[in-house]
Structure 1
Amino acid sequence: MQTSLTTSTEHSDNTVFDYNSSDYPTDYDNFCDKEELNVFNKAVTPVVYCLIAILGLFGNTLVLWILLKYENVQSVTSVFILNLAISDLFSCLLLPFWIVYHLRGWIFGDFACKIIGSGFFVAYYSGIFFLSLMSIYRCYAIICPVSTIKEKNWVYCVLLCVVTWVISFLAVLPQAVFHKVYTAHDFMHCDFREEQEPFFWTCFAYYFQNALFFTSFSIILYCYTKILKTLCRCKMRQRPRTVKLILNIVVVFFVTWAPYNVMIFIKALELQHLIISTCESEKQFDYFFIISRSIALSHNCMNPVFYALVGEKFRMHLFNMLCRFLKCLGSKQSTLSKMNKRISYYSDDPSFF
């Protein structure tokens, strides 16, 4: 995960020069002052990460609690939501390390840099995989007869999730190898770093993220388009709400992840010298990169809303839990009964939807 932005002068070999070093270049025309950018990054990023961490930890922990306490993961959809929540929770648990990093530099050592640096990509890959699998299953569940779906053994779903996690961990091996701690301008950095050109693994990591994102978005777009066509041919009391939810899922997924993927694609082109940038364009790019990275991470907070909290059954469990917590279950029993009737009318599937 690219997290550091430095005030530096860089030659074509991507060497970063220390201001206090005798290697500092004498060609002041090539100097690009990014001090304002560093101040912006140090002021904004920790605050945004803190909000994402708090909201993401709360939302995904709530999803896990209700899943395990009330649902017992009885359906394929519940299994996918469980794994998606774990993926988002894992990403949120790493954010405090990055908050400290932006404020004080990397103080956790080289081994932690490799683990935490590659951990971001584990969460990124697994999250996108699970979103794609959920979209495929939902499309299959709506198009195929219900009786056929119920005959499927959810053990295969669990095995598929295990395989997904294994693939996600294997895919981050380059990040684990090339994430390093280094010092530049009296600041300890933890970043994906290759010493010499052609920066093959760096570009490969960027392009792999791009390919994964656009493949996943194509799958999600195709599946939900098929779902929409099927719903439009059926008579459902909840159809307007369901259609709106589907559109929100597709739009939010694209809006949160597309800018970040565009930024890393441009960064890969720069590393390959396919784009020549000026100092001013570098500054603008870095500003956009900081913003797009934060927007992408905010998706961890939105997944619990779109994939769990919108469900009638999930909200009933949440309401039930709150009533027990507030010791007011007896006075709200009639309300819970009404919600149960609405849920049983809309769906017989043991999932949240």
Structure 2
Amino acid sequence: MTSMDDIITSASSITEDPFFISPSPTTDEDYDYTDNLFCDRSSVREFRSRFEPPLFWMIAVVGGAGNLAVVWIYMNYRRRLKTMTDVYLLNLALADLLFLVTLPLWAAEASHGCWSFGSVLCKLNSALYKVNLFSSMLLLTCISVDRYVVIVHTTMAQNTQVERRRCSRLVCLGVWLLALLLATPELAFATTGEPDTQGYCRMMFPTHLGNRTKILVLSLQVSMGFCLPFLVMAFCYSVIIAKLLNTRNFKKHKAMRVILAVVVAFVVSQLPYNGVLVVNAAEASTMTMTDCEELKRFDKAGQVLKSLAYMHACLNPFLYAFVGERFRHDLLKLLHVRRCQPTNKNLNSKSCRSPMGSTRASVMSDSDTSQALSL
């Protein structure tokens, strides 16, 4: 959608309309069709210039505030991260923040009709986007697995707390390294095009690499950025719900509502756009979508669905952190302390007590179901 990574099959094809996103863009990638070089895409560029900038800025601001609050809480109250979920949530917030940093540059490109920040920053921004796309999706997968272990295999989880906490740090390191590996195509091939063309930041492969490389990149994004996380989440949360249905815990219905919200938000935000990417990969080999008007409608739909997928970075703090009573308690306490910090040394310190100092209700202990479900 954003003409970030236009993967094209030949170096010569960049002389065509630089926003030729033929059927569907990928989370940053707009792909060209060499047999539709003369389709006028000006209406698509106009739609993009009006639609993407305000929405990207809104996502960046709202998501930035939410994820900064998560990091702020952990740095102030949880310096010693107690559970695997804590470690994953902190890394997820950092991944979302780094992803959101890239949006203002893509918004500027959409608004101005070209990339004006240079080839090096084009590579870095494209790679940073992909690193954090993959890391955030893989971290969501890790959170679902951790919740499964803590709730379904409670005894084992309690007996291996220390080992699991150490393991979580190694898992996070592995997630970031894998995400960096999956982002190497952006570092290698992202470019702003030839000097005499309008400079969109896109991926451009040498002629000999052809459509196979394009299909491979799309396949990796769909499989690692959606299919794997979805399959793991579906399995883990279905087993968790079955387990909760057989318990008499008074908060099990709230727990199931949280799980349902997590799964629905993930599917609604990610499935439509990944469906677009699958069609795009198929079109790379079959080239069946040849009508210009149909292509332009598909381009615009892809832009809308890509923005919907980006909104998940705004939802993560609310789905995984702010729903937790302990987390909300810490946030309110921290805000209360900041607001009540006395400027007069004689001010009665009792007036600055936390409004929730005695209410720390949870389903189980910090390392149990309550923590795993962020309840």
TM-score (norm 1): 0.88
Gaps of 5+ in 2: 18-35, 342-348
User: Take 1:318 and 1:168, find their aligned partners in 2: how far apart are those partners?
Assistant: 31
Q: Secondary structure at the match of 1:188?
A: coil
Contact 2:337 2:352 in 1 (8 A): no
Candidates 22, 31, 34, aligned match of 2:38: 31
Q: 2:144 maps to which residue?
A: 135
Q: 1:99 maps to which residue?
A: 107
Contact 1:256 1:296 in 2 (8 A): yes
How many residue pairs get aligned? The number is 336
Q: Secondary structure at the match of 1:337?
A: coil
Q: 1:165 maps to which residue?
A: 176
Q: Secondary structure at the match of 1:3?
A: coil
Q: 2:126 maps to which residue?
A: 117
Q: Which moved more, 1:149-158 or 1:187-196?
A: 149-158
Q: 1:200 maps to which residue?
A: 212
User: Take 2:137 and 2:273, find their aligned partners in 1: how far apart are those partners?
Assistant: 14
Displacement of 1:204: 0.8
Displacement of 1:16: 4.5
Contact 2:66 2:317 in 1 (8 A): yes
Candidates 137, 140, 152, aligned match of 2:163: 152
User: Take 2:194 and 2:110, find their aligned partners in 1: how far apart are those partners?
Assistant: 14
Amino acid across the alignment from 1:148: N
Q: Secondary structure at the match of 1:189?
A: coil
1:57 matched to 2:57 = no
RMSD of aligned alpha carbons: 2.5
1:3 matched to 2:2 = yes
Contact 1:132 1:220 in 2 (8 A): yes
Displacement of 1:325: 2.2
TM-score (norm 2): 0.83
Displacement of 1:235: 1.1
Q: Secondary structure at the match of 2:240?
A: helix
Q: 2:366 maps to which residue?
A: 349
Displacement of 1:183: 5.3
User: Take 1:79 and 1:271, find their aligned partners in 2: how far apart are those partners?
Assistant: 40
Deviations 1:157-184 (A, max 9, x none): 1011111111110111112111111159
Q: Given the superposition, is the C-alpha separation of residues 143 and 246 from structure 1 closer, same or farther in structure 2, using an over 3 Å criterion?
A: same
User: Take 1:129 and 1:165, find their aligned partners in 2: how far apart are those partners?
Assistant: 9
Q: 1:219 maps to which residue?
A: 232
User: Take 2:288 and 2:260, find their aligned partners in 1: how far apart are those partners?
Assistant: 35
Amino acid across the alignment from 2:211: F
Displacement of 1:69: 1.0
Identity of aligned residues (%): 26
Q: 2:87 maps to which residue?
A: 79
Displacement of 1:333: 4.0
Displacement of 1:186: 5.7
1:337 matched to 2:345 = no
Contact 1:193 1:202 in 2 (8 A): no
User: Take 1:11 and 1:77, find their aligned partners in 2: how far apart are those partners?
Assistant: 43
Gaps of 5+ in 1: 20-28
Contact 1:60 1:85 in 2 (8 A): yes
Greater relative contact order, per chain length (Cα 8 Å cut-off, separation 6+) = 2
Q: 2:255 maps to which residue?
A: 242
Contact 1:143 1:230 in 2 (8 A): yes
Candidates 66, 72, 82, aligned match of 2:73: 66
Displacement of 1:334: 7.4
Contact 1:114 1:176 in 2 (8 A): yes
User: Take 2:263 and 2:46, find their aligned partners in 1: how far apart are those partners?
Assistant: 34
Deviations 1:88-118 (A, max 9, x none): 0110111111122112221121111111111
